[in-house]
Amino acid sequence: MKLLDNPYTIGRPIVDPAGFVGREELLEAVRAALLVDGHKGVGIRGGRRMGRSSILHQLRARMAAVPELRPVYVDLRSRLRAPIEVMVPHLAQAVARGLHIGAPRLLGPADIAFREAWLPEKIDALDGAKLVLLLDSFEGLVEPSRAAAAASFYRYIGGLLGRVQNLRVIASFGHQVTGVGSDVVAGFQVFDVPPLELEDVQALMLRSHKQGTLRWEPRAGMAVWALTRGHPELTQLLCSEVWEELNYYDPSSVPEVTVSEVHSAANKAVESAAPIVDRLWSSFEPASRVVLAALASQPSEEVSLGELWRALGESGVHELGPRIEAVPRELEARGVLERVAGDDGDRLRIRYPLLHKALARHRPLRRVQAELDRVEPEADAYYRDALDLTKDPERRGSDAIVARLRSALELNPNHAKAMALLADILLKDGEEDEAVRLLERLYEIQPDAA
């Protein structure tokens, strides 16, 4: 029996324009920024799994039809950790492939040869057309060992834009671009990636209808919208689960999708969303992770700030600190949370209900509590310094260790590992009363660690 093709795309960029829906205003705004307003750098900013790579591929396809532009897609995912002497040849190879020319020969130091000779020569051969580099995942890396390499590449791209004529850059990045990266994109015209509109979700959903493999009743379509609210990959995932459930093999007739089928598929989509959650989670700092897990742990989608703080308190976070208190507004700015009016004032909710369910399933608050140790980086640094001292026979004096642990807890009263280590040292020093108080506090936050 012939298997049918699932018309929905999950986990990979949409390259074919025929498979892309929505974001027309964004695509036109980027085109105008380059051709009308004359910007040398344009940024496409959005969260992970929001379709940034797909948007770059659509821009490449559209710009290829514009005589004065030569678009070249450059995949930077997982590469920004590489040193500049590796990154520049990768960039040169991408340009050569995009322009359909021979493999690059960079004589001497690659960064100098590319900037001073090879790239200007290739652009001059374009007869006045502009080379547009579409840089995918031009975003910061928070690990110090990787951030240094990324910073070098940021500076290099900034230098190219200031030095090479007829070069343009369109870069996709998240909200966490910092340091040198933020300095470079500060000169860009930046556009935020919006979720899909209702009509875009309907167009996406109806692919299987046009394919002749499903018939969607109108209320089923609204059920999809209510669950995903325009999140592109969650919409694809939910529709895919519906399709797999009703079209696992060639049916004798075209199945009809009802609200019941959508809700049944949503349960499977929550289980299948683990890779989406993993990628999204990696883009958040510890404080954001704790707040999101607390929100997802609530039975109601909408909570007041007071209810959120109580949920954190019940998990052991009794002293919030400025870092945690700033998180809701930051997540609002990133489009992950939204504020809605309630009878008792404004309330917060995770913007996409299916994401709320997936976070509750894959990142329960009890598993995220360990993130509390890293909410305040300076506090965690004090703890790690104290831990290092315990391993150094010549510097093992308890006074120095205790001082660092107290500094850690002053900055982050919820640092469980600092509490445990300090309690252990105090017990050995005969200060049982304070040690017991610390262990009782630790039991409230993380019972398994006490």
Is-contact 442 419, C-beta < 8 A? yes
Asked if 33 and 171 sit in the same domain, the reply is yes
Q: Is residue 16 part of a domain?
A: no
Asked if 341 and 389 sit in the same domain, the reply is no
Q: What is the pTM of this model?
A: 0.81
Q: Nearest 5°: phi and psi at 257?
A: -90, 125
Distance CA 25, CA 194 (A): 10
Tokens of 122: 């290739």
Q: Is residue 7 part of a domain?
A: no
Q: Per residue of the chain (450 residues), give pLDDT as tens.
A: 445 788 998 888 999 998 899 999 999 999 999 888 789 999 999 888 899 999 999 999 999 999 999 999 999 876 767 888 888 999 999 999 999 998 899 988 999 999 999 999 999 999 999 999 999 987 654 445 566 767 788 889 889 998 998 999 999 988 765 554 567 777 888 999 999 999 999 999 999 988 888 999 999 999 999 999 999 999 999 999 999 988 765 566 788 899 999 999 999 999 999 999 998 898 888 889 989 999 999 888 999 988 888 888 777 666 666 777 888 999 998 999 999 987 777 899 999 999 999 999 999 887 777 777 777 788 888 888 888 888 875 665 678 888 888 888 888 777 888 888 888 888 888 888 888 888 877 777 666 555
Q: Is residue 6 part of a domain?
A: no
Asked if 164 and 246 sit in the same domain, the reply is no
In the beta sheet, which residues pair with residue 342? 345
From 240, 272, 304, give the residue that closes a domain.
272
Asked if 340 and 425 sit in the same domain, the reply is no
Q: Is residue 11 part of a domain?
A: no
| Residue 372 vs residues 8, 142, 226, 248, 356: alpha-carbon distances, Å | 38, 18, 32, 44, 20
**Residue found under tokens 């598929």:** 265
Q: Nearest 5°: phi and psi at 36?
A: -100, -50
Asked if 36 and 167 sit in the same domain, the reply is yes
Q: How many domains does the chain have?
A: 4
Asked if 31 and 89 sit in the same domain, the reply is yes
User: How far is C-alpha 111 from the geometric centre of its chain's CA atoms?
Assistant: 30
pLDDT of residue 2: 44
pLDDT of residue 283: 85
Tokens of 297: 């742990």
Tokens of 391: 């391993």
Q: Is residue 2 part of a domain?
A: no
Give 83-129 as a DSSP string. -HHHHHHHHHHHHHHHHT-PPP---SSHHHHIIIIIHHHHHHTTTTP
Asked if 139 and 157 sit in the same domain, the reply is yes
Asked if 78 and 179 sit in the same domain, the reply is yes
Q: Is residue 407 part of a domain?
A: yes
Domain that holds residue 207: 198-272
Q: Is residue 14 part of a domain?
A: no
**Helix, strand and coil percent figures for the chain, each rounded to 5:** 60, 10, 30
Tokens of 176: 């966490």
H-helix or E-strand containing 69? strand 69-75
From 253, 272, 291, give the residue that closes a domain.
272
Q: 236's torsion region: left (phi>0), alpha (psi -120 to 50) or beta?
A: alpha
Kindly state the DSSP code that residue 338 receives in the 8-state scheme: E
Q: CA geometry: angle at 19 spanning 272 and 8, to 5°?
A: 25
Distance CA 54, CA 14 (A): 5
Residue 57's CATH number: 3.40.50.300
Cα dihedral: 20, 21, 24, 28 (round 10): 0
| Residue 387 vs residues 361, 400, 436: alpha-carbon distances, Å | 34, 11, 21
Asked if 283 and 248 sit in the same domain, the reply is no
Asked if 239 and 98 sit in the same domain, the reply is no
**Residue found under tokens 């821009």:** 59
pLDDT of residue 352: 96
From 168, 192, 216, give the residue that closes a domain.
192
Smallest Cα–Cα separation from 290: which of 257, 330, 259, 251? 330
Asked if 323 and 395 sit in the same domain, the reply is no
Is-contact 369 445, C-beta < 8 A? yes
Asked if 314 and 368 sit in the same domain, the reply is yes
How big is the chain by its Cα radius of gyration, in Å?
A: 26
Angle between helices 286-296 and 305-314 (to 10 degrees): 100
Is-contact 98 70, C-beta < 8 A? yes
Kindly state the DSSP code that residue 303 receives in the 8-state scheme: B
pLDDT of residue 212: 86
pLDDT of residue 180: 46
Residue 265's CATH number: 1.10.8
Residue 333's CATH number: 1.10.10.10
Q: Is residue 342 part of a domain?
A: yes
Distance CA 311, CA 316 (A): 9
